[in-house]
Structure 1
């Protein structure tokens, strides 16, 4: 356990995990309140999405922390690898919360005002998340098999 606290990358990821988990709990309360107020006992689509995403990203951030702590790479490399996925996790949660507040859509791409911008963001998101974790995974395997 101490290993997780001795690395900047792991501390950042664990801090983000705690924040994402709290947001997941709070959006869960929001979801419950929406359900209580709805005739159909349903929350808006993106309120559900924000809740699930925040919880999922909380645990994903913990996974990033573990792989960063166990990586053979320097803490600087691991920190640079951890930050992009965490940033995009946070942006996604914020986006879903915003969509949940507006309740105007159940498909943000279909109803987008600028699909090309959204596609660009999704492309960058994919590279950032997969690229960041790839660095940590390679670092883990290098340490495991070195």
Structure 2
């Protein structure tokens, strides 16, 4: 098993467990809320963790068929998985702080602080490049591998 595959499997487990644990948190919020609802980012953290766990498995599957070198596959996997994890972490932080219902709404809040717009949008651009780019590299490597 390549390093990229191992990283993807490890990330899938971590994201899946995060999804299960944030599901408990979501349930607790719903059970103790007069409206029987969890804060938006508690719900987003729960759902995104579960979805990213399966995305990590898919990337691992792509890595297993990819024709690219191990270091290219590993870099692609680390890029995508790293930003999957950062996104989940951001959702958890907003869920704990209950500071926003939309992290992209101006002013960009983080607890009592306001973040500069360039930082938030720069992070989002980096996230798109890393997630889409890493996934594209692994997926295209797999397609080249199975259609050769």
Q: If the TM-score is normalised by the length of the shorter chain, which range does it land in?
A: over 0.9
Matches within 5 A, 1:9-88: 9-88=4-83
| Separation in 2, partners of 1:128, 1:115 | 20
Task: Quote the Cα distance in structure 1 between the aligned partners of 2:117 and 2:47.
Answer: 24
* TM-score for the superposition, normalised by structure 2: 0.92
- Offset, 1:20: 0.4
**Counterpart-to-counterpart distance in 1, 2:64 and 2:144:** 13
2: distance between equivalents of 1:138 and 1:34? 41
1:119 corresponds, among 121, 139, 143, to: 121
**Aligned partner of 2:135 among 115, 133, 136:** 133
User: Moved runs in structure 1, 4+ residues, more than 2 A?
Assistant: none
Q: Which has the higher strand share?
A: 2
Q: Alignment RMSD, CA only?
A: 0.9
The CA distance in 1 between the partners of 2:99 and 2:125, in whole Å, is 24
| 1:80-103 deviation line (CA, Å, top 9, x unaligned) | 110011000110111100000111
Structure 2 unaligned regions, length at least 5: 109-113
| Larger deviation, residues 44-53 vs 105-114 | 105-114
